[in-house]
Amino acid sequence: MLREYRKWWSPQLGREMELLIFGEGGRPLVAFPSSQGRFFDLEDRGLIHAVSEKLEAGRIQIFCLDSVDTESWYNRTAPPRMRIVRHLQYESYVMEEVLPLVNDLHPSAEVGALGCSFGGYHAVNLALRHPDRFTSFLSMSGAFDLSGFPGGYYDQDVYFHLPTHYLPNLTDPWYLDRLRRGNYILATGWDDPCLGDNQHLSRLLEEKAIPHELHVWEAPNSHDWLAWAKMMQEYL
C-alpha cells in the first residue's frame, strides 16, 4: 500500500502543514482527525489498517490532514473573533491547497470527506458548505453544536460554520439540488456523548429532504478509536 508524506508552506495559514496519503487509486477521501488531532492519528490509532484491504485494492485513497483546532475553536487564550478567523483560514487551506492536490491526482473523481469526533464536524461542515466539491461524508461520533466554543460570541461567520444553525434556514436551490444528490452517513452510538448532535442533524437533513443514513451502534465505548475503525470498515 502506498504511504506518502507531504509537507509545504501554507499561504492560507502562514505556516507549514503536513499530510499523509494512503493508497494509489479509487475514490479520494479527505480525512480529518479528532479534536485537536494530528495528521498521523488515523494511522497510529489503527483506522488506516482497518481499511487496508480497500486501500490496497485501489478502491479508496485517503488524504489524512492535520488540524489547527488548537489555534481556532479550542484556543481559549485568543479573542473569539480571532478563533473564527483561524477556522476560516483552515477552510481556505483545505479548499485552495488540499483539494487542488486531490484533483490533480483524481481529475474527474467525486471527493468525499470523513472524520471522527471534532473531525466529523469538519467533514460535515465542508461537505454541506461545498456540495460542488464534496459529494459525500462519513462522520463518526461527530460534534456539531459548537455554539459554546466562542464563549457567547456570535457573528455571521460563526453562523455559517454551524450546520445546526444554517441548515434550517437553507433555501437556495443551488445548494439543495446538489446536497440531495450526495451520499451522507452519520455514525454514532447509544453511549456516545455526541448522540444527540447526530440525531438533531439527522432531523435537520430529513426536513430539507437531503438523503442520508443515521447509524446508531449498540457497541459500548462508541466514542472511541476502536469503534471508529469498525465504522470505517463498515461504511467505506
- Whether 208 shows a pLDDT value over 90: the answer reads yes
- The predicted structure's pLDDT at residue 142: 98
Decide if pLDDT at 52 tops 90.
yes
- pLDDT digits over 114-134, tens only? 999 999 999 999 999 999 999
Long-range CB pairs of 197-201, under 8 A, 24+ apart, other chains included: 197/142, 197/143, 197/144, 197/145, 197/164, 198/139, 198/141, 198/142, 198/144, 200/144, 200/145, 200/164, 201/124, 201/142, 201/144, 201/163, 201/164, 201/167
CATH superfamily of the domain spanning 3-235: Alpha/Beta hydrolase fold, catalytic domain (3.40.50.1820)
Find the mean pLDDT for residues 18-37.
96
Q: Does 23 or 109 have the greater pLDDT score?
A: 23
Q: Is residue 109 over pLDDT 90? A: no
Strand runs labelled E in the chain: 3-10, 15-22, 27-32, 60-65, 111-116, 134-140, 183-189, 213-217
pLDDT at 147: 86
Over residues 184-208, mean pLDDT:
98
pLDDT (mean) for 34-63: 97
pLDDT mean across residues, the chain: 97
- pLDDT for 1 equals 87
- Reported as a single tens digit per residue, the pLDDT across 80-99 is 999 999 999 999 999 999 99
For the stretch 151-175, pLDDT in tens is 889 999 999 999 999 999 999 999 9
Report residue 138 as a C-alpha cell.
462519513
